Structure formats: C-alpha cells, structure tokens
Homo-oligomer: A and B are copies of this chain.
Amino acid sequence: MSLTIYDTTLRDGAQQEGISFSVQDKLKIAGLLDRLGVDVIEGGWPGSNPKDAEFFQRATDLGLDHATLSAFGSTRHAGRHVEDDPGLGALLGAQTEAVALFGKASAVHVRRVLGVTLEENLRMIEDSVAYLKEHGRFVIYDAEHVFDGYCDNPDYALATLEAAASAGADVLVLCDTNGGSLPNEIAALTAAAAKRFSVPIGIHAHNDSEMAVANSLAALQAGASHVQGTVNGMGERCGNANLCSILPALRLKMGHAEILPDRLERLTETARAISEIANLQPNLNLPYVGESAFAHKGGMHVDALAKYTRSYHHIDPRLVGNHSRVLVSELSGKGSIAYKIRECGLDIPTNGPRGRRVLTQIKDLESRGFQFDGAEGSVELLLQRSSPSYQAPFELMGFHVLVNRQEDGRLSAEAAVKLRVGEEVIHTAAEGNGPVNALDTAVRKALLPIFPRLASIHLTDYKVRILDSAGGTAAQTRVLITTSGEERCWSTVGCSANIIEASWIALGDALEYAVTIAGAGTPRTVEARG
C-alpha cells in the first residue's frame, strides 16, 4: 500500500504558542512543503478565521507541483442540516481537492463536551462525510480522541469510525489528540482498525509524552498508511508529530521508497526556512535537521569520526541535507582545525603552519575564557585573518558608554564610537535601551552608509555567561551573539571582565563576518576577499 504524507504545519502547527502566520507566510510555507514532496498540505480551518479562508483563495495561484491542498473543519453542528451548516459551507468554499473532517470518537467527550446523544454524534459524522462526498471531495476523516475513547468505550469508538467509513470516507485517521498514548496502545488500535476497515488508516499524533514520532512509526508498522505531522514538530502544547524525523526514518530505516532521496536532501533547508518564517529560536538539538544533530565536541569522538565516519553518526548527514560539524575547542587537536578548514571551504593547507597558528591562537583565547564550540563565525574569521592578504573591513578605535538613572527612576543609555573604515574615520553616537544596544546602534549607524546591506542583518540571540562564578560581578564575562543574514546565520564570541567590551568583541566579529563572509560588504570588499 502506498504511503501518504499529510502536513498540518499551517493548521495544527500554527497553534503553537507564539506562532502567528500571515497569509503570505502560509503561502511561502506551502511552496516549501510542495518542494519537499509532502502529498497533502492542510492549509487551515476556513470556517474558523478569515485569514485561512483568504489563504485558500490565493493558494490556487501557487501552482503546486506535487501536493494536494486540504481544508480542515468539523462535523455539522447538532440539530442542523448539512446544507445550513456554516462550517461545512466554509469547508466546501475553500475549493480544495481534499478535506479533513474531524468528529468525536470518545463517548465521554460526546456527552460532556458536545452535550449530544451518542446516536446524534454518529448521525453528525455520517451526514457530514456523505455531504462532502456528494460534492466530490476526497474525505479524510479525523477521529478525535479515538485512543482515549477506545480505552473508555471501545464499541462506541469503533462505531464512529464505522459511521465515517460507511458514509464514504476515503481515509480514517486515528488521532491521539491529547498525546498521552504509548506505542503499544497505538499499535493495538491501529492493527484492529486496519483489519476491520477496508479504507486506509491514518495516524495523527501529539507529543505530550515525547512519543509522537515513535507513535507515528508504530502505527505505520501496525498497518496505517497515512501519517500526519508538522515541520519541526510545531504545534500546540508539546507539538505534533515531527515530519522532519518521520520522513528520514521512513526512507533510511524502514525502507519506504516513496520518500525520494532528492526530496529528502531538502529536509534541513526546509526545516530551517520554516522555522525562520515562524520566527522561532532555532532548536539546535532537533534530530536530523538541527545545527547540533551531527556536531561533536569531545576529542575522542572527533578522533573516532576521522577513523570511521559512521562511528558517532546514525546516518550520513548529507542524506537529509545537513552536515557534520566539529566544535572547535581547547580539547581539539590538529584534526579538528583541519576539519574546520575543509568545512569552511577555505584554501589553506589543512596541516600547514597557518592551521597550526590558528589552533594555537584558539587555545590561547580559550585559556582566557573564550569558547569557540558555539562560535563558528569567530573561528572562520580567525582562519580568514590568518591570510596575509586579509584586510579587516573596519576597525574600532574607541568608544564610551554611559548609563544614567535619575532620582525619578528615569533611565538612559548612550554610546559614542569612533571607527576607521579604509582611510575614513567615523565618529558618531546613539542612544539605546541599554548600553549594549546603544553600542550596537552607534556602530551600525557608522557602518550603514558604507555597507548598506547590513540593514538586512539582525542579531537574533545574545547570551551572557559569567565564567569564574566565584568572582561575582568582577568575573570574566563571555558573550555569544547569533546573527542572521538573508540566507544563513553565524555565531560569534567575545570575552572580557567588562561586559561591554566582551559584547563589543562579539558584535565586531558578527559585523565583520557579515561584511567579509556573508556578503553584506560592498562589491569592492567582496573582490578583496578573493
């Protein structure tokens, strides 16, 4: 039986705390999902908000290559005719080939939440499915709370599935709505349903027990052939089943040839692009697609990887478009620097004096509190700077920062900076929310006229760590900054007993990287790189 990948990032994924997609965001994501090769894209719940209705209107222009669109909605209201039900009307109005219709499968929910009789709920399911079928839709029936319902009242749960199937539903999706089930429970009901019904069975899992991926695979192993999930596992509470972990497992561990290798190679870039659109802090530890997923810190692992590439990787990271990283740190040897040089695509003999010089420099800086294992941007700059022909795009000559709190509690922060760019000396000042923001603002004010593309570069994270905790406020301070450009992001590090100076060092590296490596420099500067 062929496998259907059903993505609900745009509907269930958008329920995650802090996520709010614009229609434009949703259109962009739909395009990315199509390129990734998912079979069905659930675009939204047209009956619940006008934004989703607008999405479906505009989605017809998307020209999707492979994927089908689906709209989500619920069974008719109690005591209403299907023709008069506004929800079903909106669902048809979305003009999608497929619809996902959810109905209640748990007797407790029917009585206590819906407040209707068990019989009426069965008729609601039947009528609604039949009505959508009459209108030519491919009907995916989502059985909400069916695992909990099956525990409490198995006969009724199966009767609801029967109602949907007999009315013509094309897929019966078993939903672990509260995410509380364990794989053996998922497998048991899935196997029973697959045996009883001739239509394909689907699985919709939530991650409240950290089981969503395992539960989805357990269902597929037990006879399901349709799997629902979201990119990066976005979703309400603890999220939905993570398609970015399910797709590679299906192809690389379970032998499902429907997941095509050239699509799978887009997984990492798709996951990161959607995370950016959602404006989420990237989760480094995400399986398969995370920045750290194939990263190694300990010297022992790095040595082992050099001897046998599979030694600490469960798959070849290139298969999912990710890559292996070595976190350069004081524990590293020459091997890690050589690895880094290759990773950055630099033209430096990996075992020559330049690589050794940079390694010595890294060790020296780390002994003074720098930490490079989260700061590849700074490492890449150290490597670039080791070239005799490298020219820094700007140089900080000095600054002062003043923070003032008056007796009425009013606060101000101001920074003055003096920078040299080529022959030019720029002296300017700015205010900010705080001292580091004032410094950042002043430096950008000085550089923007010369490097206008810095306007699209943003600081996305700023972390501070106190190193020698016993030193209290006099301790060495390490600042780690993450910066995002149009296509990539990089991290840089600074360290000093003075937090302002530590911030400046990391900030200076972040901006220098933007100009010399990430392409925010002027054409003249870009030429100077070669």
Residues of A whose CB lies within 8 Å of any CB of B are 15-18, 20, 22, 24-25, 108-109, 112-113, 115, 145, 177-180, 182-184, 207-211, 213-215, 217-218, 221, 233, 236-239, 242, 245, 249, 253-254, 279, 281, 283-288, 290-298, 301, 303-304, 307-308, 310-315, 327, 371, 373-374, 396-407, 411, 413, 418, 432-437, 439-440, 458-470, 472-475, 477, 480, 482, 496-501, 503-504, 507
Q: Which of B15, B211, B405, B466 contacts A399 (CB 8 A)?
A: B405
Given A108-B308, A308-B112, A461-B469, A292 and B16 contact (CB-CB distance below 8 Å): yes
> Is B400 in contact with A472, judged by CB distance below 8 angstroms?
no
Q: Are the CB atoms of B472 and A458 closer together than 8 Å?
A: yes
- Residue among B211, B238, B314, B439 making CB contact with A208, cutoff 8 Å: B314
Q: Given A24-B470, A287-B209, A433-B497, A113–B403 Cβ distance below 8 Å? A: no
28 contacts between A and B (CB under 8 A): A16-B285, A17-B291, A17-B295, A108-B308, A109-B304, A209-B314, A210-B245, A214-B214, A236-B297, A237-B292, A237-B312, A238-B293, A239-B285, A281-B281, A281-B461, A398-B407, A400-B405, A401-B402, A403-B498, A413-B500, A458-B470, A460-B470, A461-B466, A462-B473, A464-B464, A464-B466, A464-B499, A473-B503
Known: A207-B287, A237-B312. 10 other contacts (CB 8 A): A178-B314, A208-B314, A236-B296, A236-B297, A279-B465, A400-B404, A434-B500, A436-B499, A437-B472, A464-B466
Query: Are B433 and A474 interface neighbours, CB within 8 A?
Result: yes
| B473 engages A293 (CB within 8 Å) | no
Q: Shortest distance in angstroms between A347's beta carbon and chain B's nearest beta carbon? A: 28
Contacts of A439 in B (CB 8 A): 473
A435–B398 CB distance below 8 A: no
CA distance A154 to B463 in the complex (A): 46
- Residues of chain B within 8 A of A233, CB atoms compared: 210, 285
A501–B314 Cα gap in the complex (Å)? 47
CB distance from A417 to the nearest CB of B (A): 9
In the bound complex, CA of A327 to CA of B184 (Å): 32
Q: What residues of chain B lie closer than 8 Å to A500, measured between beta carbons?
A: 403, 405, 413, 434-435
CA distance in complex: A324, B403 (Å): 40
Please tell me how many copies of the chain the complex holds.
2
Q: Is the CB of A20 within 8 A of B239?
A: no
Cβ-defined contact, B440 with A473, below 8 A = yes
The docked-state distance in angstroms from the alpha carbon of A477 to that of B418 is 27
- B292 close to A238 (CB less than 8 A): yes
What separation, in Å, do the CA atoms of A436 and B218 have in the docked complex?
49
Question: Closest Cβ of chain B: how far from A26's Cβ, in Å?
Answer: 11
Query: 9 closest A-B pairs (Cβ-Cβ)?
Result: A180-B314, A459-B472, A214-B214, A464-B464, A434-B498, A433-B497, A210-B245, A178-B314, A437-B473
Contact A314 B463, CB 8 Å, known A405-B399, A498-B435: no
Q: Are A286 and B238 in contact, CB atoms less than 8 angstroms apart?
A: yes
User: B461 near A253 (CB under 8 angstroms)?
Assistant: no
| A460: B residues at CB distance < 8 A | 469-470, 472
Tell me the interface secondary structure of chain A in the complex: mixed
Find chain B residues with CB under 8 A from A211 CB. Answer: 213-214
Minimal beta-carbon separation of A468 from chain B (angstroms): 8
Q: How far is the CA of A437 from the CA of B16 in the complex (A)?
A: 29
Question: Which has the most chain B C-beta neighbours within 10 Å: A292, A298, A371, A499?
Answer: A499
- Taking a contact as CB atoms closer than 8 A, the residue among B18, B179, B411, B466 that contacts A374 in the complex is B18
Contacts of A472 in B (CB 8 A): 437, 440, 458-462
CB within 8 Å for A308 and B183 given contacts A178-B313, A434-B496 = no
Chain B nearest CB, measured from A396 CB (Å): 8
Give complex CA distance A404, B397 in Å. Answer: 11
Residues on the B chain within 8 Å of A315, using CB: 180
Asked, given contacts A284-B17, A297-B15, whether A249 binds B209 with beta carbons under 8 Å apart, the answer is: yes
Q: Which residues of B contact A474 (CB under 8 A)?
A: 432-434, 437, 440
Q: Among the listed B178, B466, B496, which residue makes an inter-chain contact with A462, where contact means beta carbons less than 8 Å apart?
A: B466
Is B470 a contact partner of A109 (Cβ separation < 8 A)? Answer: no
Which listed residue, B15, B24, B432, touches A473 by the CB 8 Å rule? B432
Which one of B178, B288, B307, B469 contacts A22 once the chains associate, using CB atoms below 8 Å? B469
Contacts of A401 in B (CB 8 A): 402-404, 435
Of all chain B residues, which has the CB nearest A242? B210
CB-nearest residue of chain B relative to A397? B407
B contact residues around A24 at 8 Å (CB)? 469-470
List chain B residues, Cβ under 8 A from A218: 183
A405-B504, A433-B497, A459-B473 known; A20+B279 contact, CB < 8 A: no
CA A24 to CA B472, docked complex, whole Å: 13
Give every chain B residue within 8 A of A16 (Cβ-Cβ): 285, 292
